[in-house]
Structure 1
Amino acid sequence: MTQIIQSLDEISSRYDAAFVDLWGCLHNGETAYPEAVEAMRRYRAGGGTVVLVTNSPKSRTGVEGQLAEFGVPKDAYDAIATSGDSARAAMFRGVVGEKVYVMGAWDSDKGFFEPLDVIENPVTITSVPLEDATGIVCVGPFDPMADPSVNRPDFLYAKQKGLKLLCANPDIVVDRGSKREWCAGALARLYTEMGGTSLYFGKPHPPIYDLARRRLAALGKDVGENSILAIGDGIGTDVAGAMGENLDSLFITGGLAAGETHDGDQPDPARLEAYLQREQTSPTYTIGHLR
Structure 2
Amino acid sequence: MTRIIPELAAVSAHYDALFCDLWGCVHDGVVAFAPAVAALQAFRAGGGAVVLVTNAPRPRTDVMRQLQRLGVPRDAWDEIATSGDAAQWAMASGAVGRKVWHIGAEKDLTFFDDLPQDVPAGTVARVAPAEAEGIVCTGLADDLTETPEDYRAGLMLAAQNRMPMLCVNPDIVVDWGGRRLWCAGALAQIYEQMGGRVLYFGKPHPPIYDLARRRLAALGRDVPEDRILCVGDGIGTDVAGAAGEGLDCLFVTGGLAAEAFGPDAAAPDPALLAQWLTAQKAAPRWAIGQLR
Question: Is TM-score (shorter-chain normalized) higher than 0.5?
Answer: yes
Aligned to 2:67: 67
Q: Distance in 2 between matches of 1:142 and 1:274?
A: 37
Structure 1 residue matching 2:51: 3-state secondary structure: strand
Letter in 1 for 2:218: A
Aligned to 1:169: 169
Q: What pairs with 1:14-93 in structure 2 (closer than 5 Å)? A: 14-93=14-93
Structure 1 residue matching 2:214: 3-state secondary structure: helix
* 1:259-289 CA distance string (max 9 Å, x none): 1113212110111111101111011100000
Shift of 1:142: 1.9
Structure 1 residue 228 corresponds to structure 2 residue 225: no
Structure 1 residue matching 2:37: 3-state secondary structure: helix
* 1:208-247 CA distance string (max 9 Å, x none): 0000001001111101100000000001100000000000
TM-score (structure 2 length as normaliser): 0.97
Aligned to 1:132: 131
* 1:113-158 CA distance string (max 9 Å, x none): 1343223x56611110001001100000123243312211111110
Aligned to 2:9: 9
Alignment check: 8 A CA contact 2:53 2:212 kept: yes
Q: Which runs of 4+ in 1 moved over 3 A?
A: none
Alignment check: 8 A CA contact 1:15 1:227 kept: yes
* 1:24-78 CA distance string (max 9 Å, x none): 0000110100000000000000000000000000100000000011111110000
Alignment check: 8 A CA contact 1:93 1:123 kept: no
Q: Distance in 2 between matches of 1:130 and 1:109?
A: 18
Letter in 2 for 1:41: Q
CA RMSD of aligned residues (A): 1.1
Alignment check: 8 A CA contact 2:108 2:138 kept: no
Letter in 1 for 2:39: A
Structure 2 residue matching 1:19: 3-state secondary structure: strand
Structure 1 gap ranges (5+):
none
Structure 2 gap ranges (5+):
none
Aligned to 1:178: 178
Shift of 1:204: 0.2
Structure 1 residue matching 2:249: 3-state secondary structure: strand
Alignment check: 8 A CA contact 2:52 2:77 kept: yes
Q: Distance in 1 between matches of 2:211 and 2:225?
A: 14
Number of positions where the alignment pairs a residue of Structure 1 with one of Structure 2 = 289
Structure 1 residue 283 corresponds to structure 2 residue 284: yes
Percent identity between matched residues is 55
Alignment check: 8 A CA contact 2:21 2:231 kept: yes
Aligned to 1:243: 243
